[in-house]
Chain A
Amino acid sequence: MPQLQQIDTFLSQVVWLVLAFVVLFVVLRTIALPKIQATLEARRDRIEGDLDRAQTLRQEAEQVLAEYEAAMAEGRDRAQSVIRDAVEDGKARAAKAHDALAGRLADDIRHAEARIETARDEAVGNIREVAVDVVQAASQRLIGGRIARKSAADAVDAVAGR
């Protein structure tokens, strides 16, 4: 087995092993490892930074949403109160207008009734005059003599009073 027979090569093998290993160590220590570490760190920082930013943005979005909802609620309340005021105002104005109209109508009715009353009284008075005239004219035709207006009026009153 050459591993145990070529003892004269042992020194060379070990020396070259140490040399190769040290060279590799120096290369990795000074070039490769810093590069890999920097890359991994940069990636980790980037990911953490992105996560942080996402977190901040999310919080901001939540805050904006809360503000929006508060504004919406306030607007809704204000709208409700405006509507309520308007409705009450309208109701009050309608009631007032209704009362005024009712008063006016009552007045009109009263006036009209009074006018009707006077007109009827007038008409009733006129009917008596006409009846007296008719009595006078009829008696003149029938009896050929003119009767006194007073008598005619008494006759009419007597008939009308029956």
Chain B
Amino acid sequence: MAGEKQGPLDQFTIKPLVQIDIGGADLSFTNSSLAMLITVASVSLFLVVGMGRGRLVPGRWQSMAELSYEFVAGLLKETVGNEGRRYFPWIFTLFMFILFGNMLGMIPSAFTFTSHIVVTFAMALVVFTFVTLLAIAKHRLHFFSFFVPPGAPKLMWPLLIPIEVISYLSRPVSLSVRLFANMLAGHTLLKVFAGFVVALGAAGVVPLLFIVALTGLEILIAFLQAYVFTILTCLYINDALHLH
């Protein structure tokens, strides 16, 4: 790689670290896989070690662990209500996984696995499939009334129902693209301006300062996108449980 010209998009390249081939399928352990495992380890450590013996009066770290729990629990309660409690472990895992994936990606030269559309789309598709199956299991055929806006005149149905169906089917796309595009754009922008720092010489201080500010913004976005992904998942679950 040394001496090779690096573009702003090269940071997203998947590099196999350990070649694994099972039945002709390439399941190599890559830098993306490594980032995922680091995320899993970090979340586990953050929560398990942070909770320690679970003191009655928490320290800072334990407070943060409890805060993350109560944040997601509050989110779920607000959007879904008490029925949502049974989905809490999944929602919490989802939130922590995306949050730590995004945050660890902010460490310079770290890999951000959430910047890959296939990863975000896989997650969104699982959410979408789960929510749809949940709705059908709960409401049977009545589920399809979800595509009819309440109170709409019958005359409008031929127009409204396709719109509703399309908007429902586009959920996994918007959910995955939102996270992917935010991560992609942020990291690309950082690298583009980082390139300017070197190119401009002494005047490179200006883009450097910009990068500092942008890094702060990106950290905010890293949190925000994890939050958005989670709250939308909660809203979809709410739709599935209550329709409309």
Contact = CB atoms under 8 A, between A and B. Distances in A.
Interface of A: 1-4, 6, 8-21, 23-25, 27-29, 31-33, 35-40, 42-43, 46
A35 B48 contact: yes
A23 B90 CA distance: 12
A40 B27 CA distance: 41
B36 A2 contact: no
Q: Looking at chain B, what size class is its interface with the partner chain?
A: 35 or more
A40 B73 CA distance: 12
Nearest to A47: B56
Given A14-B118, A20-B39, A32-B51, A9 B14 contact: yes
Interface centre among A28, A32, A40, by most B CB within 10 Å?
Answer: A32
A12 B20 CA distance: 9
Contact of A42 (B43, B54, B113): B54
Interface in B45-70: 47-48, 51, 54-56, 58, 62, 65-66, 69-70
A23 B40 contact: yes
B145 interface: no
Contact of A28 (B92, B113, B123): B92
Given A9-B14, A32-B51, A36-B66, A21 B93 contact: yes
Interface of A is mostly: helix
B222 interface: no
Interface string B94-126: 001100000000000000010111110011000
Given A9-B14, A12-B26, A32 B97 contact: no
Given A17-B113, A25-B89, A42-B54, A11 B25 contact: yes
B147 interface: no
Given A35-B54, A36-B65, A27 B30 contact: no
A15 B36 CA distance: 11
Contact of B33 (A2, A12, A42, A43): A12
Contact of B92 (A1, A10, A18, A33): A33
A9 B15 CA distance: 9
Contacts of B62: 39
Given A9-B26, A43-B56, A2 B44 contact: no
Contacts of A1: 9, 12, 184
Nearest to B70: A40
B96 to A, nearest CB: 7
Contacts of B30: 9, 12-13, 16
Given A15-B27, A16-B29, A21-B123, 6 more contacts: A9-B28, A13-B30, A13-B113, A24-B97, A39-B55, A39-B62
